[in-house]
Amino acid sequence: MKVLIIGGAGYIGSHVTKAMALAGHEVTVFDNLSSGLLVNLLPAAAFIAGDIRHADDISAAFSRGFDACVHLAAFKAVGESMVEPEKYSVNNLSGTINILNAASASGCRKIVFSSSAAVFGSPEYVPIDEDHPKNPESYYGFTKLEIERILAWYDSIRGIKFAALRYFNAAGYDPSGDIVGLERNPQNLLPIVMEVAMGWRKELQIFGNDYDTRDGTCLRDYVHVSDLADAHVNALAYLEREGKSLAVNLGSEKGVTVTEMVEAARRVTGRDIPARYTGRRAGDASSLIPTSALARSLIGWNPRLSDVDTLIKSTWDVYRTYRTPTERA
Ligand code: UDP
């Protein structure tokens, strides 16, 4: 299929681009490079520079004719969304509407959408299944849930079939080393642990050790980004085969606490990784663990790389090739 990958130069998008190309699709990346990186553009993909906030940019891209698109272009910082909601409204919400209108006008009837565990808010029970109540606790999470609802309307009115993939904690890097871009100003645990291991940060702050978990630190489900990428390929095949929309949770179903992650990182990297317990971070749930049974049964998804050691080693193998956060050694 001819597939347009919107946000394909970003961290997850570049892994999706690789997986789609390996699956035999003809891939084109559309990205404004605001957080995506040129170094992430894979030779297998054509590239269109453009911005989803500009309806003309995205219409021009779709007019080239695509069978399907993957939409990963979004702002994703939960904390920022609570202080600058306008950015999230314009990019995540209006940008997605521009995409859907352009897809609709051009006859593209399949979309794989990057959704998030943030649609659920604090769990009322774990593991979280797809029917769990959806009460996002950040504006970011709200934008993802709202887009899922808009997708359902474009499905019923325009016949655009969608796969909403609700990622839990994405981590890791392409194990064969084809993707080496580091996110600028990372906010997530593993990149920050790596920056401490590299000596770019003095220490890791562990946000709270008084949670109701086995060691008091937050329990999360980390899933390898290449496993997530495979889910996009499988989801697209499902849309083609079944002609029906779906929304599924994507996690490894292996809960790991912050302390366990740090200890594993010390072992795998052989570095000290100084860490200090600090207060809780606002908005953190104690445990966020999904069941991915539906993804297994509907799209045949089986994560293969989401064990802690592979997550850390594949990330470390990229970080250690850098001298500074922006300069490769
Ligand atoms: N975390 C931490 N220190 C950091 C960054 C994250 O202790 O510098 C914790 C955070 O409180 C959460 C877990 O690591 O329990 C994963 O956080 P991340 O921001 O990566 O993802 P989230 O679960 O918030 O989507």
Task: Please give, one letter per residue, the 3-state secondary structure of the chain.
Answer: CEEEEECCCCHHHHHHHHHHHHCCCEEEEEECCCCCCHHHCCCCCEEEECCCCCHHHHHHHHCCCCCEEEECCCCCCHHHHHHCHHHHHHHHHHHHHHHHHHHHHHCCCEEEEEEEHHHCCCCCCCCECCCCCCCCCCHHHHHHHHHHHHHHHHHHHHCCEEEEEEECEEECCCCCCCCCCCCCCCCCHHHHHHHHHCCCCCCEEEECCCCCCCCCCCEEEEEEHHHHHHHHHHHHHHHHHHCCCEEEEECCCCEEEHHHHHHHHHHHHCCCCCEEEECCCCCCCCEECECCHHHHHHHCCCCCCCCHHHHHHHHHHHHCCECCCCCEC
Give tens-digit pLDDT for 110-125. 999 999 999 999 999 9
Give tens-digit pLDDT for 83-97. 999 999 999 999 999
- Which tokens go with 113? 């959408």
- Quote the pLDDT of residue 329: 87
Ligand 1, atom nearest to 190 Cα: 20
Percent of the chain with pLDDT over 90: 96
- Quote the pLDDT of residue 283: 81
Percent of the chain with pLDDT over 70: 100
- Quote the pLDDT of residue 185: 87
Q: What distance in angstroms lies between residue 30's CA and the mean position of ligand 1's atoms? A: 29
Ligand 1, atom nearest to 117 Cα: 25
Ligand 1, atom nearest to 217 Cα: 15
Would you tell me the crossing angle of helices 189-197 and 308-319 to the nearest 10 degrees? 50
Mean pLDDT of all residues belonging to the chain: 97
What pTM does this model have? 0.97
Residue nearest to atom 2 of ligand 1 (CA): 206
Q: What distance in angstroms lies between residue 188's CA and the mean position of ligand 1's atoms? A: 6
Most ligand 1 atoms within 8 A of CB, residue of 193, 220, 225 to mutate: 220
- Quote the pLDDT of residue 282: 83
Q: What distance in angstroms lies between residue 192's CA and the mean position of ligand 1's atoms? A: 9
Give tens-digit pLDDT for 216-246. 999 999 999 999 999 999 999 999 999 999 9
**Which amino acids are annotated catalytic?**
140
Write down the residue that tokens 């010390």 correspond to: 266
Residue nearest to atom 18 of ligand 1 (CA): 188
Give tens-digit pLDDT for 35-83. 999 999 999 999 999 999 999 999 999 999 999 999 999 999 998 999 9
Most ligand 1 atoms within 8 A of CB, residue of 166, 207, 211 to mutate: 207
Task: Please determine, for residue 8, whether its predicted confidence score (pLDDT) is greater than 90.
Answer: yes
Q: What distance in angstroms lies between residue 177's CA and the mean position of ligand 1's atoms? A: 25
Q: What distance in angstroms lies between residue 274's CA and the mean position of ligand 1's atoms? A: 16
How sure is the predictor about 130, in pLDDT bands with cuts at 50, 70 and 90?
A: very high
Most ligand 1 atoms within 8 A of CB, residue of 138, 196, 204, 218 to mutate: 218
- Quote the pLDDT of residue 211: 96
- Quote the pLDDT of residue 48: 98
Residue nearest to atom 12 of ligand 1 (CA): 218
Ligand 1 contacts (CB < 6 A) are 169, 187-189, 192, 204-207, 218, 220, 258, 281, 284
Task: Please determine, for residue 284, whether its predicted confidence score (pLDDT) is greater than 90.
Answer: no
Task: Please determine, for residue 263, whether its predicted confidence score (pLDDT) is greater than 90.
Answer: yes
Task: Please determine, for residue 3, whether its predicted confidence score (pLDDT) is greater than 90.
Answer: yes
Cα–Cα distance for residue pair 32/209, rounded to 1 Å: 39
How sure is the predictor about 109, in pLDDT bands with cuts at 50, 70 and 90?
A: very high
Q: What distance in angstroms lies between residue 29's CA and the mean position of ligand 1's atoms? A: 29
Ligand 1, atom nearest to 171 Cα: 20
- Quote the pLDDT of residue 33: 97
Write down the residue that tokens 């802690």 correspond to: 308
Ligand 1, atom nearest to 207 Cα: 7
- Quote the pLDDT of residue 207: 96
Give tens-digit pLDDT for 143-201. 999 999 999 999 999 999 999 999 999 999 999 999 999 998 899 999 999 999 999 99
Residue nearest to atom 25 of ligand 1 (CA): 169
